[in-house]
Amino acid sequence: MLSPKPRLLRAHQVPESYREPGILSGYRPPRSSASECLLSLFGMNNETLNIWTHLVPAGYFLWLLLARLRDFGDDPGAGPYLAYLGTCALYPLASSCAHTLAALGGHGRHRAYCCDYAALSIYSLGSALAYSAYVFPPEWVGSTFHDFYIPVAVFNSVLSTGLSCYSRFLEAERPCLSKASRTLAFVYPYIFDSIPVFYRLSRGCSQGSLPLHSRHSLCALLTFLSFTSRLPERLAPGSFDFIGHSHQVFHVCGILGTLFQLEAVSMDMEERRGRFPLPSSLETFGSLGMGVAASLAILGICFHNLRPEPLSREKSH
C-alpha cells in the first residue's frame, strides 16, 4: 500500500552514482513508481524542498501570466513580455517535475531531466526576447548586433538543449565532463543574453531599472557558485541532508534572480513604451516557436537513443 511517507535510504544503501557529495540520508528508493514519486511530495526527503522551491514559484508565475494576459492581451507591444513571462513559468514547473520523478530510474529519470534542461534553454530565449525589445541600450537599437541578437539567441537555446541533453549520455563514464558540459550549456547563453545589461551596468548602476538588473546578475552568480561548489554540505556532511543543501540554495537564488529580472523588464517596458519600434507578434512568437520546435526535436532524438543504465551506474541530477 502506498504511503505519503516512503521508506528513505542512507547513502550506503543506494548505488554510488545516486549519492550526492555531503548528503548522507533521505534518499528515495531508486526505481520508485510514478505514484510513489508523486506521493513523496508530501513526505520529507532530500528532494522535497528541491521540488517545492520551484513548484510554488511556478504557480505564482502562471497566475501572473494569466493576469498579464488580461491586462496586455490587446497590446501589440507586450508580446515579448508575455512570451518571456511564459518561459518564467515553464522552467520552474519543468524543474519541479524532474525532481519529483528523479527516483524513477532508467529512461524516465533521464527524460524528466532532459525536459528540465530544455525548459531552461527556452527560458534563456524568452529572456533574450524581452531584452531585445525593452532592455537594449538606446544607442544599440537598430544596430547590426541588435539585428542578429535574436537569431543568435535562438541558436544558443538550441545548442544549450542539445549540449545539456547530451550530457546525460556522458554521466556513467565521464561524470566530470558531463557536469562541465551541462554548466557550460547554461552559462554561455546567460552571458550572451546579458551583454546589453552588462553594458548598461558598466555605464552606471543607479538609474531606473539598473539596480534590479544588478541584483539579478548577483543572483545569477550565486546560482553558479552554489551549483558548482556543493556548499555547504561538503563542509558538514549529513547536516544539510533535508534543508539547506546547495541545490536548494541554487533553486532559491535562481527564483530570486528571475523575480528581480521580471521587475526590471517590467520597468524598462513601461519607461520605453512608444519610444522605440518593437517586434511584431509574428516575429516574437515565431522566434520562440522555432526555439521550442528545435528543442522538442532534440528531446525526441534523445528519448529515442537513451539506453537505461544498470541500476548501479545511474547518475543523479
Higher pLDDT, 306 or 83: 83
pLDDT tens readout for residues 271-287 = 988 788 889 889 999 99
Read off the DSSP letter of residue 72.
H
Residues 39 and 52 sit within 8 Å (Cβ to Cβ): no
Read off the DSSP letter of residue 43.
S
Return the sign of the alpha-carbon dihedral for residues 21, 24, 27, 29: positive
The reported pLDDT for the residue numbered 314 is 42
Write down the mean pLDDT value for the chain: 90
Higher pLDDT, 76 or 158: 158
The pTM assigned to this predicted structure is 0.93
Higher pLDDT, 207 or 78: 78
Look at residues 164, 96, 73, 74 and name the one whose alpha carbon lies nearest to residue 124: 164
Mean pLDDT of all residues in 240-248: 96
Break the chain into its structural domains and give their ranges: 48-309
User: What percent of the chain is modeled with pLDDT above 90?
Assistant: 73
Gap between the terminal Cα atoms of the chain: 28
The reported pLDDT for the residue numbered 307 is 65
Q: What is the CATH number of domain 48-309?
A: 1.20.1070
Q: How many residues does the chain have?
A: 317
Mean pLDDT of all residues in 245-260: 97
Cα Rg, the chain, nearest whole Å: 20
The reported pLDDT for the residue numbered 316 is 42
The reported pLDDT for the residue numbered 315 is 43
Chain center to CA of 116 = 7
